Amino acid sequence: MARLLLNLDRSVPARFRGFRPRVVMVIALFVLAGLGLAGRALQLQVFQHERLSKLAERQSRRLIRIDGKRGDILDRNGNRLAASIKTDSFYAHPARIEQPALTAFRLSRALNLPQGALEKKLGSKRGFVWIKRQVTPLESSTVRALKLPGVNALREYRRIYPGRGLAAPLLGFTGIDAEGLEGLEYAYNSHLKGAEGVRVVHRDALGRSVLRGDRAFPGGGGSIRTTLHPAIQNLTEAELSRAVTETGAAMGVAVVLHAPSGQILAMANVPGFNPNVYRDYDKSTYFNQAVTNGFEPGSTMKVLTAAAALEEGVVKADTLFYCENGQWRHYDSIIHDTKPHGWLGLNGVIRVSSNICAAKIGLLLPPGVFRGYLSRYGFGTRIGLFVAPDGRRLAGEAEGYLLPGKKWTPVDHAAMSFGHGVLVSPLQMAAAINIIATGGLLLKPVLVMEMLDSNGRVIQKNTRTVVRRVLSEQTTAIVRDLMKAVVGPDGTGRRGAVPGYQVAGKTGTTEVYDIKARGYSKTRHIASFVGFVPADNPVLTILVMVVEPQKGRYGGVVAAPVFSRIAARALPLLGVWPAKGPRRVPIAPKNAPKPGVASR
C-alpha cells in the first residue's frame, strides 16, 4: 500500500502532492465503514437472526380467534329457536388508509357506526383494528362494494334467533365471541360452544392482507332439543302480553306444563326482548322471572295447606271451620278476609279463599310437620331445572325461601298457611300444584328433552322423573274437588272456566312487601291463578301471575281469564277436544305435532 501511494505521489504534479494525507484518510474511512457494515450485517443475520425474525413476524401478522359453529337450540318439533350462520366481520390496517376521514365517513354510513370513533380507529398507529364484527348481509354487500383500501373481511359465525322475541328470556343470548351470557345459552354453553381455532392475517410489503392457514372452521358444538311447543309458547306470550297491557301491570309470568310428564310446553315473561338486538333493551328484561325470582304465592298456597292437613288426618272433607266474620286476632297480628264469613266447610274455605280458616287449618299441623310438607312440595330448594347429571349447577335458579323451623313463630305459621312469609318461584308453584294433577307425585320439570352431538346423534335423553310421592291419591282426589268448586259459579276463580272442559284451579292475590315501609303495601299486588285441565284427566297445568296490575286487583279477575284463554287454545293443539261442541281444526304451525304427541 505504501509503495502504491509513493508511485501515485510521484505521478501527481507537485502542486497536488499536499493532498496525499487527505486521500489516505478518506480511503481509510471507507474501509472502516465497510468493515462496520459487514460486522453489523453479520450480527443481524447470524447472531440476532432468530430474535429479529420473530419481531418481524409479530409486526406483520395478527392472530384472530375463530370459533366453530355453535350448536342449535331446537323446539320439541326440531325447529330452530337459536342457530348460527356465516357472516362477515370487517377489520382494517390503519397504515394503508390514506384518507381516514373519508373512509370513516363511508364506513359510518354503510355500517351505522359513529363517524368520530371510526376516524379515531383508522387514524391510529396500530397495525390492526376491528371495524365491525358479524355484520348483516346487507351491510356486508354495501362495504364490499365500496372497495376501500386497507379494509378487509373475515368470515365468522353469527348467532341468530328466528323467532325474535319468542321465549327470549328462556333462551338467553350470546356475546360477540359466541359465549352464552343468559338463559339456556349460558346454562348449556359448554355443550353448545364450538371448538376454538386461530386464523393468521399477514401483511405483505405493500400492507395488503393475506389470510394464511387452514380456512376451514373448527369443529362445531352440540345441540339441545327443548320441550317447548312453539304454538303454545306463542299464544301464551300473546295472552300474557294482552293482560299486562290491559291492566297496566309491571310484569307478567306464565308457565304451561304437560301435567303427566312434567315437560315445560311454554314459559313466558312480559316484558321480553329481542335477543338479536339485546343491547337495545333494558337489562331487567333479560331475566327469566319464572325460574330466577321468588314471590309470595298468596292464596294459591291454601290448597297445599289443605292437602297436608287432609294427608295427616287432622281435617276431613266435611270438617267445619268458623271464619270469625272476616277478622281474627292471632297473638299480636290481625288476619282479615276480603268478605265476612261464618261457618264454612273445607269446600267453602277454598272456594271463597278464606285467610282466617286457612290459617286455622295450617295451625292444626305441628310446625315441623307443616314445614316438612312445604319442603316436600319442592319449596326452599332448587328444582334442578339447570343442574347437570353430575350435579353441577348450570345457571341461576331461585330456591326460594322457607323459614328455618327453629325460627317459626305462631304468626309465621299462620301466615305461611295462606301463602305469606314464604318465597317460591312460579315454576316451583306450578310443579307443586301439578302434584294434585298427578295423584300425589312430584315430577321434576323437564325443559331439555335431548342433548345431541355435532352430528345430530342423541347423547342424552331426559324422560319423566318422579322426585317423590308427596300425597296419597285419596287426598288428591278430595283436593281436586275443592279446586273444581273454585272455578264453579260461586267460586273466586269462575273466570278461569274453559268452555267444554272442567277446570280445577285456585286464585291468589298477594300484597307486595314494601321494604321501605317495612310492611305490606295496600296498593301493590300480585294477581295469580294456577290450575289444571281437564280436571279429572289433567293434560295441562298452567300458572299465570300478573305483577302490580293497575286495573283490577284479584287473581280471579286479572289472571284467571288469561288461564282460560291459554287453555282453550292450547288443548286442541294437543288433540284434547271439548266434551261438547264442534271439533274445529285449530290453526297450527306447519310442523305442529300430531294429536297426543305431548303425552309421550
Grid coordinates standing for 491?
267460586
Q: Which of 73, 533, 498, 474 is nearest to 258 (CA)?
A: 533
Residue that the C-alpha cell 298456597 belongs to: 301
Residue that the C-alpha cell 309470568 belongs to: 253
Could you tell me the CA-to-CA distances from 398 to 262, 501, 596 in Å, in that order? 18, 33, 32
User: What is the distance between the alpha carbons of residues 463 and 551, in angstroms, rounded to a whole number?
Assistant: 42
User: What is the distance between the alpha carbons of residues 139 and 112, in angstroms, rounded to a whole number?
Assistant: 9
pLDDT along the chain (600 residues), means of 10: 50 54 68 63 56 50 72 95 91 84 89 89 82 89 89 88 95 89 92 76 51 62 95 97 96 97 97 94 94 93 97 95 93 91 95 95 95 95 77 76 88 94 95 98 95 92 94 97 96 95 95 73 89 97 96 94 97 90 43 36
Strands 223-226 and 73-74, bridge-based pairing: parallel
Q: Which of 285, 267, 290, 265 is nearest to 275 (CA)?
A: 285
Q: Amino acid identity of 402?
A: L
**Which pLDDT does position 397 carry in this prediction?**
83
**Which pLDDT does position 25 carry in this prediction?**
72
Q: Is the pTM of this model over 0.85?
A: no
Q: Which of 516, 503, 530 is nearest to 435 (CA)?
A: 530
Do the Cβ atoms of 519 and 496 come closer than 8 Å? no
Find residue 450's DSSP bridge partners: 225, 461
Task: Give the H or E element holding residue 152.
Answer: strand 151-160
User: What is the distance between the alpha carbons of residues 166 and 478, in angstroms, rounded to a whole number?
Assistant: 38
Question: 3-class DSSP state for residue 183?
Answer: helix
Q: Amino acid identity of 176?
A: I
User: What is the distance between the alpha carbons of residues 51 and 59, in angstroms, rounded to a whole number?
Assistant: 13
**Which pLDDT does position 63 carry in this prediction?**
63
**Which pLDDT does position 202 carry in this prediction?**
56
Other beta carbons within 10 angstroms of residue 54's beta carbon come to 10
**Which pLDDT does position 24 carry in this prediction?**
64
Q: At what angle do helices 426-437 and 302-312 cross, to 10 degrees?
A: 40
